[in-house]
Structure 1
Amino acid sequence: MVRGNFQVYRTRISQKKKRQWSAKEKLMVIAYYEQGHSKRSIANKYEIELKQLQKWLKNKDQLM
């Protein structure tokens, strides 16, 4: 699309599909944290939001 002296580009923003994590998988991620890895490195490794990881850690007892 052209407007005036510049072009306007339209891009598609793709959304990631929500992933369902089982309790077993969440506990595996928590165990990895308990081995001494940082929250940020775990969030990057497993492609989860840092806030989601913090929520799992807070609710660990409910997962067991």
Structure 2
Amino acid sequence: MNAVKPHVADVTVYFVHSIRAGGASAAANNGVQDRTFKRHGIWTSESAKSGYVKDNSHERLSVSLY
């Protein structure tokens, strides 16, 4: 959590899950291949990895364009 302290007002409101989810979401939404960040995050299944990824609003709304 020391790496986070300079960037947030109160580190006590953040948990490891938040940091993992943020990193996984950033990787997924910036074109990092699933296999690469799945290995980096040490997820053993696709469903475990997907539980951490929050799609950006552009991706979520893009399905309505078709």
**Comparing both structures, which one devotes a greater share of its residues to strand?**
1
TM-score (norm 1): 0.46
**Comparing both structures, which one devotes a greater share of its residues to helix?**
2
TM-score (norm 2): 0.45
Larger Rg: 1
